[in-house]
Amino acid sequence: MDRRTLAPLAVEEIVLRLLRSEAAAAIRSAGAVTKAGARIQTAIAFMRRHLGRPLSVAEIAATST
């Protein structure tokens, strides 16, 4: 087996072990921040693509859910 096959399995094992450890709460909250950050980046990209027209908050929010 090569790295491309084993690496994802190793990462998954590490994540599962960490989520079962005392560090689980910190890891979960870090994941939540990442998800929120991704939604914000999506909203910003949408606004940049549509700079030439008025946008509503509802329209921007709909693109990042």
Model confidence at 1, pLDDT cuts 50, 70, 90, reads: low
Whether this model's pTM surpasses 0.75: no
So what's the pLDDT on residue 50?
92
For 3-49, what is each residue's pLDDT tens digit? Answer: 778 888 888 888 888 888 988 888 777 777 777 888 888 998 999 99
Q: At what angle do helices 3-19 and 24-49 cross, to 10 degrees?
A: 120
Tokens of 36: 């929120």
For 48-57, what is each residue's pLDDT tens digit? Answer: 999 889 999 9
So what's the pLDDT on residue 9?
84
